[in-house]
Amino acid sequence: MSGLKSIKVPKVLKNKFFIAFAAFIIWIAFLDKTNLMYQYQFQSEVNKLENQKEFFIQEIKQTREEQQELLSSPEKLEKFAREKYYMKKDNEDLFIITPAPAQ
């Protein structure tokens, strides 16, 4: 019994407010459904989505510029249709040449 009496517990650890605060911090950090690990994962996901948003904004801007360019002249629209969609005039034959696969 004398061994137990020789251990001195600091007053801070006996304080009920400190114990409640420590329990609250442990609960928030580890036990809650939105604990620190999930918050980190959510923030990583938000950052990834913001980067994707910036990429798609740039893609939309580039596509709108290409659209304006194509709609500005019929020659450019015809060239685009022939190259991209292999369209042809009625009195033409279309030959598509593809490169041989690398061996």
Query: What is the structure's pLDDT at 2?
Result: 57
Q: Please check whether residue 78 lies inside any domain of the structure.
A: yes
Q: Which domain covers residue 60, as residue numbers?
A: 40-89
Calpha distance 80→59 (Å, rounded): 18
> Using an 8 Å Cβ cutoff, are 46 and 40 in contact?
no
* pTM of the predicted protein model: 0.52
Provide the domain count of the chain: 1
Residue 33 belongs to a domain? no
Lowest-confidence region among 22-31, 48-57, 73-82, 84-93? 84-93
Q: Report yes or no on 83 lying in a domain.
A: yes
Contact residues for 76 (Cβ-Cβ < 8 A; gap 6+):
69, 70
CA distance 92 to 14: 94
Within a domain: 51: yes
Contact 69, 76 (CB under 8 A): yes
1 pLDDT exceeds 70?
Answer: no
CA distance linking residue 49 with residue 37, whole number of Å: 19
Q: Let me know if residue 59 belongs to a domain.
A: yes
Would residue 54 count as lying in a domain? yes
